Amino acid sequence: MKLSYHGHSVVSIETNDQTRILIDPFITGNKLTDLKLEDVKADYIFITHGHADHVGDMVYLAKKTNAQVVAIPEICHFATSQGVENVHHMNIGGKFDFPFGQVKMIFAQHSSGYELDGQMIYMGEPAGFIFTIDNQSIYHAGDTAFYSDLSLLAEEFDLDVAFLPIGDNFTMGIKDAVKASKAVQATLTIPIHYNTFPVIEQNPDELIDLLPEGAGKVLKPGDSINL
């Protein structure tokens, strides 16, 4: 299984059976991404919450590729209103067995709204996802603050990888990401959601230095790891 980072919070998963999963496809306007919108292929698009830098190119890509959009119901309703036909509704605490593996939607402590034609649309509760594929578990936290119940994830999952935001201001910063990494007990923590905008500029190496040796890794946009 191949995990790739594409700047901001954009993560892709290519499973051993070549299912292509794309999370938070913020490509247009993302100065850090290595992706070219016209080249992106996906079978599933997972959206953690309704902010523009996470919804991103969801509508365009879902129509272009016929990928199934998986998100909280309010985001799915928004996608449908924009002409997306293939959606799967989930909600906090629920899990579902997809053909590629199991996914559980996890609470994130954040907000969620999308501005369209000058109006702010409520986009449901923010979330993260835990993917269990081929007996390996990957956590994408979305945008979240640190909260103590993150430790409960370690009771249910042996996380191989956790993608955690470090940008501060809108999400947890580096020190809280260290606490979150310890709470979820992932084998490997990879920082996301930083340096895209001046207000979230961070040095990701500071996170790695604060984690136990070998417990963190910085991926540059376009970098991948194999599980």
- Which pLDDT tens digit goes with each residue over 54-85? 999 999 999 999 999 999 999 999 999 999 99
Contact 202, 193 (CB under 8 A): no
pLDDT at 169: 98
Report which DSSP code applies to 94.
-
Q: How confident is the model at residue 223 (pLDDT cuts 50, 70, 90)?
A: very high
Task: Using alpha carbons, select from 193, 208, 204, 216 the residue that is nearest to residue 23.
Answer: 193
How far from chain centre, in Å, is Cα 90? 15
Query: Tell me: the pLDDT tens digits for 153-206?
Result: 999 999 999 999 999 999 999 999 999 999 999 999 999 999 999 999 999 999
- What tokens appear for 122 in the block? 């409520």
The per-residue pLDDT for 133 is: 98
Contacts of 18 (CB under 8 A, 6+ apart): none
Question: For the CA atoms of the chain, what is the radius of gyration?
Answer: 16
What's the mean pLDDT in 200-216?
A: 98
Q: DSSP 3-state assignment of 217? A: coil
> Per the structure block, which two tokens stand in for 211?
């984690």
Reported as a pLDDT band with limits 50, 70 and 90, residue 53 is very high
Q: State the pLDDT at residue 130.
A: 98
Q: Which amino acid is at 128?
A: G
Distance from C-alpha of 59 to C-alpha of 31, rounded to nearest angstrom:
20
- In this structure, what are the phi and psi dihedrals at residue 130, rounded to the nearest 5 degrees? -115, 120
- Specify the pLDDT at position 216: 98
CA distances in angstroms from 63 to 11, 85, 123, 197, listed in the order given = 20, 8, 20, 28
* Residue 54 identity: H
pLDDT value of residue 89: 98
At 117-159, the pLDDT tens digits run 999 999 999 999 999 999 999 999 999 999 999 999 999 999 9
CA distance 208 to 31: 24
What was the pLDDT predicted at 2? 98
Residue 137: the pLDDT is 98
pLDDT in tens, 20-46: 999 999 999 999 999 999 999 999 999
Dihedral sign (CA 35, 198, 161, 158): negative
AA letter at 81: S
Summary count for the chain: helices (H), strands (E): 6, 15
Q: Which domains does the chain have, with CATH numbers?
A: 2-221 (3.60.15.10)
pLDDT bracket for residue 98 (50, 70, 90): very high
Please indicate, yes or no, whether the overall pTM of this predicted structure exceeds 0.85. Answer: yes
Residue 75's nearest CA partner among 109, 9, 125, 131 is: 125
**What pLDDT, on the 0 to 100 scale, is given for residue 73?**
98
Q: Which helix (H) or strand (E) holds 44?
A: strand 44-46
Cα angle, residue 112 at apex, residues 107 and 118 outer, rounded to 5°: 170
The mean per-residue pLDDT over the stretch 193-222 comes to: 98
